[in-house]
Structure 1
Amino acid sequence: MRFKNVFSIIGPSMVGPSSSHTAGAVRIGLIARQLLGEQPAGVKIALYGSFADTYWGHGTDLALAGGLLGYATDDARVADALEEAQRRGIEITFVKGVGLAPHPNTAKLELTTADGRKAQVVGASIGGGNVVIHEMNGFDIRCSGEYPTIVVLHHDRPGVIASLTGVLGGSGTNIGYMGVDRKGRSAEAMTVMELDTVPSAELLEKLRRIEEVKEVTVIDLNSREADSE
């Protein structure tokens, strides 16, 4: 990823002390929550590299918890996020990651809902509050969260990608980046598309009606979905 301007280096409006260890961590947590689609009941977070060595002093644990609660990077409630998570009955466990990681500031989040649904994200904070997601639900997928993103779980069948892009093209929606991974030939696959605009409810419904599509999820870090429970 190339830094586009000075604000990409300084970082976004945020609760400090560090754009890498706090703002980026909030965004990783928020992406994981949005992928799950609801507030989790339990989260296991494995920290790697610098995250593992300094997370407590830099507030990375608070930042990740804040993202999981739906907070934005500049939400003052991030400072009390772990207490708020406990109040809501969310069990968050931090462990030191084992093995190699794609970046020194990497976290692997495994989320579970009360009824047993799961989501998993591996994300890295690469500086200036910017992040790169390296894995979603076991798929080798990249996205930045910088743009509205559609995550589509589908069967690996001929014509599915053409159907997805056809629906977006027909609605006048431009795709800035697209990535695909699959579990195997004719198995489950995941397609990620970063868009120039926020997808409409009508567009999402058209994607869900494609025969081989199983699930469509939107990740939008500017949606300000933070709640006030």
Structure 2
Amino acid sequence: MTKQLQEVQVEREELALAERVLNRSAEQAQADVEAAAPVSAQVAGRAVLLIPYRSDAADEGALPGDYRKILAIVREADGPVQVRAVGERLGLDAAVRGRLEPLRAKMTKLADHGWLHKRPDGRFTTPLALELSRQAAANVTALREKFSALPDVARYLTSRPVRRGFLWDSFDSGIAAALVGDPDAARDHFERVLREDALAPWMVEAQEKTRDLHAIAADRNAVTAWVTRAVDSCRSKLGLDPVPFAIS
């Protein structure tokens, strides 16, 4: 009797293993089919792109629903994302071999058609983020040509007329003054920021940052470290690689 029970148990285990193998084979076959899916279809005898080029579409409503979900996830991400991260948001089991390949193919199609930007490291971001990063780089180059040294920047920013409601003018001026070792001027500009009426959430956040800076205005090294972290964070969100950052 014991021997028969052992044989039954062995058979059950073999069946379970065979079932898992068949399931994974089916999933891989489906992945291969989806990855090789055509990007166009015949409508009234004419070839119509299932994934239109961004320049030819009025908006993302022209995309199939699953592609719109992918776009939304990438757009909501705090910086460039990996295929695995998008897959996890979609509920895919990344541990199953080949499970992410259909998603990778879809994201690549979106990039090929201008809806996404695929970075050299394989991560994806939105074209808007790429364009913003290019504009930021161009602006930085122009400013470096106009102001060759930090004291020049500080003199320009702190000499501008005070404009009520232009919160960032005073914020930037305060940082510049602190970086060149003028804490009194820095605090004066930071206090102007704090006197503004916080009418929106972003203004509340800006004033919280300003309070932190006001407290460390006399510590040039601390302000430099704060600015370095802020620059690194912005570059990451725009999909730019970190760069050495030094203030002298």
Q: TM-score, normalised by structure 2?
A: 0.25
**Greater per-residue strand proportion:** 1
Compare CA radii of gyration and give the structure with the larger one: 2
Quick one: higher RCO (CA 8 Å, sep 6+), 1 or 2?
1
Please state which structure has a larger fraction of its residues in helix. 2
